[in-house]
């Protein structure tokens, strides 16, 4: 406790710029950004925002300061009323902790079944005298692009765009005949491009069409690593680069996630806690 108290209270800050006096001032608010201890302390501080036992039709989860509330009922209108009540209670609890929620960053999504047709719901939610309208066909949360009908092509399409943009910049590090050697290029591809491309593949299904698009891009990356011609057989290029096809990496990610979930302690992992009793 003394260590944590010292971490929170014994802090000073000074502005550094040419000619600045570097005068230190005491900081007695918040916690240091970038410290691995700060997120943990924040989660402990806001634990009151998570009720111990929730109703069966309400599910609340968070990642540090990002919260999501999911409700289910017989109609979208009833969903909005349940949300309004839950948000108001959370906001009152947050006010007691000296916290507040950002209206600008608050988004609303009405979920639909994958095959459900017809017009989307336009029901709104009132929050702090502001009207929160549905945020279109997709909203972004923790790097995931979530769509109202659960399709995954939107999310992986965004991930493909990000990976392509990263590859354009990385290519400059290894031009033909100079720069990085193939081993260094492989390390960068596997450490930066591949995680960017497959973010979310451990829980989202990739469609055959999306796998094809990703593999086409991945072939370009493999060609860059091995400095091979476009006409070279990609099976040979993949073996030369010692990198597998995209569908194998996606399968590995899902299997490793399944192993982690089924072997974790239920008290430490909400997904494990939702498995049937005695599983596996």
- For the cut 90, the answer to whether the pLDDT of residue 215 exceeds it is yes
Q: Are 94 and 100 spatial neighbours (Cβ–Cβ below 8 Å)?
A: yes
Residue pair 114/121 in contact by the 8 Å Cβ criterion: no
Residue 253: band (very low, low, confident or very high) from pLDDT cuts 50, 70, 90: very high
d(CA 75, CA 3): 51
What pLDDT score was predicted for residue 113?
A: 79
- Per-range mean pLDDT, top range of 56-60, 63-67, 237-241: 237-241
pTM of the shown model: 0.78
Answer whether 63's CB lies under 8 Å from 78's CB.
no
Is residue 132 over pLDDT 70?
A: yes
Residues 6 or more apart in contact with residue 92 via CB below 8 angstroms: none
Higher pLDDT pick, 160 / 29:
160
Q: Residue 54: is its pLDDT beyond 70?
A: no
Q: Is 273 helix (H, G, I), strand (E, B) or coil?
A: helix
Contact 218, 246 (CB under 8 A): yes
Instruction: Pick 135 or 70 by higher pLDDT.
Output: 70
CA–CA–CA angle 128, 43, 49 (5° rounding): 40
Tell me the residue length of the chain.
Answer: 280
User: For residues 145 and 203, is the Cβ–Cβ distance under 8 A?
Assistant: no
Report the mean per-residue pLDDT for the chain.
86
Contact 121, 149 (CB under 8 A): no
Q: What is the pLDDT of residues 76-106, one digit of tens each?
A: 889 999 999 889 888 899 999 888 888 888 8
- pLDDT bin (cut points 50, 70, 90) of residue 222 is very high
Bridge partners, 70 (sequence order): 59
Which phi and psi angles does 124 have, rounded to 5°?
A: -110, 170
| Mean pLDDT in residue range 171-189 | 81
Q: Hey, what long-range contacts does 128-134 have (CB within 8 A, 24 or more apart)?
A: 128/91, 128/103, 130/103, 132/103, 132/106, 132/107, 132/108, 133/108, 134/108, 134/109, 134/110
Asked if residue 209 has pLDDT above 70, the reply is: yes
pLDDT value at residue 252:
95
Which range, 17-26, 110-119, 226-235, has the best average confidence (pLDDT)?
Answer: 226-235
3-state secondary structure of 107: coil
Residues 167/193, Cβ–Cβ less than 8 Å: yes
Residue 210 — pLDDT band, cuts 50, 70, 90?
A: very high
């Amino acid at each position: 406790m003394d260590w944590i108290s010292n971490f929170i209270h014994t802090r000073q800050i000074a502005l550094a710029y040419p000619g600045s006096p570097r005068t230190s001032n005491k900081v007695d608010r918040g916690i240091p950004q970038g410290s691995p201890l700060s997120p943990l302390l924040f989660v402990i501080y806001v634990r009151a925002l998570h009720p111990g036992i929730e109703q069966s039709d309400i599910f609340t989860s968070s990642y540090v300061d990002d919260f999501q509330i999911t409700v289910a009922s017989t109609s979208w209108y009833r969903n909005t009323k349940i949300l309004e009540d839950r948000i108001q209670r959370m906001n009152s609890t947050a006010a007691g902790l000296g916290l507040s929620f950002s209206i600008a960053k608050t988004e609303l999504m009405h979920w639909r079944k994958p095959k459900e047709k017809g017009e989307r719901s336009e029901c709104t939610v009132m929050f702090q005298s502001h009207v929160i309208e549905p945020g279109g066909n997709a909203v972004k949360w923790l790097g995931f692009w979530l769509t109202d009908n659960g399709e995954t092509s939107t999310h992986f399409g965004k991930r493909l765009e990000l990976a392509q943009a990263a590859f354009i910049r990385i290519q400059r590090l290894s031009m033909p005949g100079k720069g990085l050697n193939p081993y260094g290029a492989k390390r960068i591809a596997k450490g930066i491009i591949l995680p960017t491309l497959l973010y979310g593949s451990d829980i989202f299904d990739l469609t055959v069409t999306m796998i094809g698009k990703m593999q086409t891009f991945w072939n370009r990356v493999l060609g860059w690593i091995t400095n091979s011609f476009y006409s070279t057989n990609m099976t040979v290029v993949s073996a030369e680069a010692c990198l597998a096809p995209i569908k194998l990496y996606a399968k590995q990610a899902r299997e490793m996630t399944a192993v982690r979930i089924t072997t974790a302690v239920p008290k430490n992992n909400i997904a494990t806690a939702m498995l049937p009793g005695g599983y596996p």
